[in-house]
Amino acid sequence: MTLIEGRTGAWETVIGLEVHAQVMSDAKLFSGAATAFGAEPNTQVSLVDAAFPGMLPVINRRCVEQAVRTGLGLNAKINLRSVFDRKNYFYPDLPAGYQISQYKDPIVGEGEVTVDLDDGTSRTVRIERLHLEQDAGKSVHDMDPKRTFVDLNRAGVALMEIVSKPDLRSADEAGAYLAKLRSILRYLGTCDGNMEQGSLRADVNVSVRRRVKEGQPGEPLGTRCEIKNLNSIRFIRQAIEHEARRQIEILEDGGTIEQETRLFDPSRGETRAMRSKEEAHDYRYFPDPDLLPLELDPDWVEEMRAGLPELPDAKRARFVADYGLSAGDAATLAADREDADFFEAVAAGRNDPKQAGNWVINEFYGRLNKAGQRRADSPVTAEKLSGLLALIESGEISGRIAKDVFDEMFETGGDAAAIVEAKGLKQISDTGAIEEIVDRLIAENPKQVAQAKEQPKVAGWFVGQVMKATKGQANPAVVNEILKKKL
């Protein structure tokens, strides 16, 4: 928790997120139309999506399965009976005049997510519910100076709305929560988490209350404002910070907060009013007469529970226990399923999995990030990286030389052993050869020899000279031993 200092005292920010996650499914929630991103406008629209009279929705089993698996991944209660309601409102990109959603009886009830913060601590954020609903179409305002176009490709695509309790206390915590949620969704394969394409977006509810000290009870929750449709973690953080400051200023000037819906303007970094908050009764929710209540077979749910993959928290714990990784490294590697698989493939057969973790995080991803590349672009496969580490473990090359070999592998896609062989980079562990160099250095540098006898640190200078003479290929352990003996 981070308190914000106002003019009249300290304030706490209270945040709850409503996350819209597009369900990974080839077809829409109630029609067989395709869902692929980037298609020509209005080419993925069935008569149901266009709300032609007399068309009937038919539930897509795949979308239900994805929602249930997500609920299970969020440690949430699965409701074996849920109801689809009509949420009525007018909008040009909503041809039916209502959205099919779930209101009183959602498919998933209360759950929880463990959120990992940058300072190494973690906290639990409670989930209030997850429900299935249709996405709306898109109004396109920038294609013509006078007209607005409507693209219905997205109309009817399945969304999961995941609502958190107001448990988050800072922009950092909200960002970490969304990152964790995205990680879990990707592990489950229920949402691709692509925020630029709008597959994952959030409405952010923010209020503030006075809080004298951390650990002491605050005032009751304040009135909240809801900032709509944010599609990046950076914008979410900026919007929360700006909105909390705005509310604090109003309250400190003796004003009150009006509950309203606001928009975030990324170019100005501020939020502005969009409309006063609508209440549930404004939507005239009622059960959709075209759809029966959704009843799930408990055996089917249990089958899905048993089939869940290992999720990030469990994987991280296993990486610490089985490979001896630090909690931080384990969290970094476990955040993404393919990163985690890559690491395990590198570590397979290695004596020192901790070293493998270091190499994957610092050298491999460090270099990819620098080059602005993704794992798939890299010519260095897990197997090849593992082969390089094998050469370090067997003492054939030093860690220092390994970095040069890795550079070469990264450029040419070559094999570590072949590069070492071709370039003659093998580590020199032959005592005779190193002794020869040491003897010569001792003969040539009597002054340093005298110093080394009094100050053991000067011995380090000799190590450097041996390395220079061998182009970094001398085995440092052997060099140290010989120097100790001879000096």
Please report whether residue 199 would count as binding ligand ADP according to CB under 6 A.
Answer: no
Helices (H) and strands (E) in the chain, counts: 16, 16
DSSP character for 360? I
Please report whether residue 23 would count as binding ligand ADP according to CB under 6 A.
Answer: no
What's at 72, amino acid-wise?
L
- Site pattern 15..54 for Mg ion (x: CB under 5 A): ---x------------------------------------
Residue 145 or 220: which CB sits closer to ligand ADP? 220
Cβ 209 vs Cβ 222: under 8 Å:
yes
Of 11-19, 290-298, 391-399, 449-457, the segment contacting ligand ADP by CB under 6 A is 11-19
Residue 376 Cβ vs ligand ADP, minimum distance, rounded to whole Å: 36
Residue 285 or 300: which CB sits closer to Mg ion? 285
**Ranges within 81-110 binding Mg ion (CB under 5 A):** none
Among all chains, which residue has been given the structure tokens 């959602």? 106
Residue 225 Cβ vs Mg ion, minimum distance, rounded to whole Å: 11
Position among 3, 11, 12, 16 found at the interface with ligand ADP (CB under 6 A) = 16
Query: Binding-site residue total for ligand ADP (CB under 6 A)?
Result: 16
Question: Rounded to the nearest 10 degrees, what angle do helices 476-486 and 459-469 cross at?
Answer: 130
Find which of ligand ADP, Mg ion, none residue 16 binds, CB within 5 to 8 Å per kind: ligand ADP
List the beta bridge partners of residue 168.
Answer: 15
Helical (H) or strand (E) element with 312: helix 312-323
Question: Which tokens is 58 given?
Answer: 């038919």
- What lies within 8 Å, CB to CB, of 314 at 6+ separation is none
Please report whether residue 166 would count as binding ligand ADP according to CB under 6 A.
Answer: yes
Query: From CA 132, how far away is CA 154, in angstroms rounded?
Result: 15
Question: Which tokens is 239 given?
Answer: 């919007």
Position among 3, 11, 12, 17 found at the interface with ligand ADP (CB under 6 A) = 17
Cβ 83 vs Cβ 287: under 8 Å:
yes
What's at 252, amino acid-wise?
E
Find which of Mg ion, ligand ADP, none residue 39 binds, CB within 5 to 8 Å per kind: none
Of 12-20, 317-325, 364-372, 448-456, the segment contacting Mg ion by CB under 5 A is 12-20
Query: From CA 430, how far away is CA 432, in angstroms rounded?
Result: 6
Please report whether residue 163 would count as binding ligand ADP according to CB under 6 A.
Answer: yes
Query: From CA 375, how far away is CA 452, in angstroms rounded?
Result: 48
**Ranges within 212-251 binding ligand ADP (CB under 6 A):** 221-222, 224, 226
- Judged by phi (left if over 0) then psi (alpha if -120 to 50, else beta), residue 193 lies in left
Please report whether residue 207 would count as binding ligand ADP according to CB under 6 A.
Answer: yes
Query: From CA 55, how far away is CA 436, in angstroms rounded?
Result: 90
Find which of ligand ADP, Mg ion, none residue 22 binds, CB within 5 to 8 Å per kind: none
Residue 203 Cβ vs Mg ion, minimum distance, rounded to whole Å: 5
Please report whether residue 205 would count as binding ligand ADP according to CB under 6 A.
Answer: yes
Q: What would the DSSP string read from start to end of 264-288?
A: EETTTTEEEEEEEPPPGGGGT-EE-
Query: Binding-site residue total for Mg ion (CB under 5 A)?
Result: 1
Question: Which residue sits closest to ligand ADP, CB atoms considered?
Answer: 16
Of 162-170, 174-182, 191-199, 331-339, the segment contacting ligand ADP by CB under 6 A is 162-170
Among all chains, which residue has been given the structure tokens 């209502």? 98
- What lies within 8 Å, CB to CB, of 75 at 6+ separation is 111, 112, 113
Please report whether residue 164 would count as binding ligand ADP according to CB under 6 A.
Answer: yes
List residues near ligand ADP by CB under 6 A. Answer: 14-18, 163-166, 205-207, 221-222, 224, 226
List residues near Mg ion by CB under 5 A. Answer: 18
